[in-house]
Chain A
Amino acid sequence: MKKMMALTMAMVMTAMALAGCGSSGSSDSESASGDIPVIGISQFAQHASLDNCREGFIQGLEESGLVEGVDFVIDYQNADSDTQLATQIAQNFSANNVALMCGIATPSATACYAAAEDKNIPVIFTAITDPVEAKLDSGNITGTSDKLPIDQQLQLIRDLQPEAKTIGILYTTSEPNSVSAIKEYEEKAPNYGFTIESIGVTQQSEVVQAADTLISKGVDCFTNLTDNTVVDVLPSILEKTNDAGIPVYGSEIEQVKLGCVASAGIEYVALGRQTGAMAAKILKGEATAEEMPYETISECEYYINSETVAAMGITVPEEIASVATDVAAEA
């Protein structure tokens, strides 16, 4: 009996502590916002592309005529790559009955959707490659997919390296986005006369070794996915490939800035803006998340890095040079 008393006491204390601290937090935001709808943004990790998504998302809301601080306020939380934390962030949003939850990357979006299961809080996601696979394609949820424009990328490589035969790809076996992208690359590569040589790694420390292996297998070039584990050590990969004289193609602008030769990729700010525009429709009541299908970016952006292109001795055909942004010239 005493034991149960102690347990109950502890729980009540816990609850009170929580309520005390929690209410001070929410009263802050209330005093700032009044009845302004709150948008809870749960971003899964600190990452340049995901940050771009978030910034684009807010831009998209403002481009749709909504003003931050007047029409909406943002409660931004980052899960630091921790799924437990993503769960608790989503539950916080749900308990505070935010007007809309925005999940950036799959684990955060999944946590938001689970926390909203019993409520009718709309969830919007971005930076998810395959919403169908993640079962986020039906219900009061919608968003944008960052599926890579693989056809365009293969065509780009063909245009820049007409003689190339094998493309090397490094990826992490635990990243769902990478696994599905590899499948698609393997299906589509023969259409452009390529074969794919891929190596899956399980952790960051293996990436550079795997790059050595690919180089020794004599691949004609590398192409990157949006694989966080691999992209995080891109500079060390580039050091190896530059020595070997092998061009590396990026999957987005940040990678080309780092020294990849070119990319037909996604611009994450644009993806975020598209997502923000969808969120604005929901907030204005013009459409519900339920009835809006998820969207992908239809046209891709071309980027080249004229410095590395020159170093590799590649000639860029006029039709690509005219549409591509040269990030070396920008910098």
Chain B
Amino acid sequence: MNAMFELCISTLTQGFIYALLSYGVYITYKILDFPDLTVDGSFPLGAAVGALLLVNGTNPYLTLLAALAVGAVAGFVTGFIHVKLGVRDLLAGIITMTGLFSINLQIAGSNLAVERSIDTIFTSGPIMAVMGNSSLIYRKFVVALVLAIVVKLVLDWYLKTKNGLLLRAVGDNATLVTTLAKDKGTVKIIGLVIANALVSLCGAVVCQEQRSFFSTMGTGQVVFGLAAVIIGTTLFRKMSVVKATTAVMIGSIFYKVCIQVAISLGLPSNLMKLATAVLFLLILVLGNKRKGGAEHA
């Protein structure tokens, strides 16, 4: 098998999986204008719950639903602290994230491995019926692709419903929501619930793909999410045919590609992060240039 092709497939797979997290960050950061740091806690929360249920024999698809549910609760807690208790947005996220660190340790310990004998969404159910003979990396690719697209379509649909429109209005013009006799706090909480449910779902998928949970796996996830959202939306800023969710998905893929390129270049490992930073900068600057504007990304 061609190594480059295989590398493309596994990098795209990572991009699709992490697109789930990026959608969540897109909702809070872009739509609600809410810098939500809960992500660093709700991501490992999904992984912890997913891992624990998996090793106890739960159907791998049901663990995804469970992850959605606990992530929603995490988002609700942040929303409640911010809206009802009047704590500033950043701090509300920090509080939930900090608390979740201990909760995750309680749920799954510092490290929980999922044995190979345990089936995951990549080794059971519909994917085995359709392409059971293909190698695992193709199955992972297809499952990740389907998840990323299905979630994207559901989000696209939701954002067009009345409720979704209110969500978009809160970030742009909160007064409008109030004049419509709607409570903007409730709308914010709904946004945080959806966002963190998606982030937690992403954590559960990563845990099944890597067959492991680490209590420290949340570190830096919010940074990744922000980068993916900003790269995606900057690249496709003026292309109205590309939906924001699609742009975010591509942003996530771009990030993963940048990392993989930096690895493949074989740079001294101490320079990895610098190489990645330069790549990001290039993409953003070129993206801005191409659209003929020097506006802020």
Contacts and interface: CB of A to CB of B under 8 A. Distances in A.
A18 B8 contact: yes
B260 A92 contact: yes
A29 B263 CA distance: 13
Contacts of B116: 117, 135, 139
Contact of A80 (B3, B12, B273): B273
A97 interface: yes
B265 A83 contact: no
A133 interface: yes
Contact of B136 (A14, A118, A174): A118
A84 interface: yes
Nearest to B18: A84
B14 A87 contact: yes
Contacts of A84: 14, 18, 220, 224, 259
A285 B241 CA distance: 56
B105 interface: yes
A75 B105 contact: no
A2 B239 CA distance: 11
Contact of B246 (A7, A17, A46, A174): A7
Q: Helix, strand, loop or mixed for chain A's interface?
A: helix
B217 interface: yes
For B6, B111, B239, B273, the residue with the greatest tally of chain A CB atoms inside 10 Å of its CB is: B111
Given A2-B241, A6-B246, A78-B269, A135 B114 contact: yes
Contact of A179 (B8, B110, B210, B249): B110
Interface in B86-103: 101-102
A25 B260 CA distance: 11
A96 B11 CA distance: 13
Contact of B266 (A29, A43, A139, A202): A29
Which of B3, B239, B246, B256 has its CB near the most chain A CB atoms (within 10 A)? Answer: B3
Contacts of B263: 77, 88-89, 92
Contact of B105 (A24, A29, A114, A173): A173
Contact of A135 (B113, B239, B246): B113
A22 B7 contact: yes
Contact of B110 (A46, A94, A173): A173
A28 B135 CA distance: 28
A87 B270 CA distance: 17
Interface residues of B, number: 59
A18 B261 contact: yes
B232 to A, nearest CB: 10
A43 B268 CA distance: 13
Interface string A151-181: 0000000000000000000000111100100
B264 A26 contact: yes
Contact of B7 (A95, A117, A174, A175): A95
B265 A21 contact: yes
B275 to A, nearest CB: 11
A147 to B, nearest CB: 15
B104 to A, nearest CB: 9
The secondary structure that dominates the B interface is helix
Interface string B197-229: 000000000000111101111011000100000
B10 A85 contact: no
Interface residues of A, number: 60
A7 B250 contact: yes
B259 to A, nearest CB: 5
A118 B1 CA distance: 13
A78 B105 CA distance: 26
Interface string B239-258: 10111001001100110110
A107 B6 CA distance: 22
Interface in A114-146: 114-115, 117-118, 133-136, 139
B10 A15 contact: no
B264 A3 contact: no
Contact of B270 (A7, A78, A117): A78
A110 B211 contact: yes
Contact of B261 (A2, A22, A83): A22
Contacts of B132: none
Residue of A14, A18, A175 most packed against chain B (CB within 10 A): A18
B4 A19 contact: yes
B272 interface: yes
A128 B216 CA distance: 16
A169 to B, nearest CB: 16
B21 to A, nearest CB: 10
Contacts of A134: 111, 113, 212
B241 A3 contact: yes
A11 interface: yes
Interface of A: 2-3, 6-7, 10-11, 14-15, 17-19, 21-26, 28-29, 43, 46, 75-78, 80-85, 87-89, 91-92, 94-97, 106-107, 110-111, 113-115, 117-118, 133-136, 139, 173-176, 179, 202
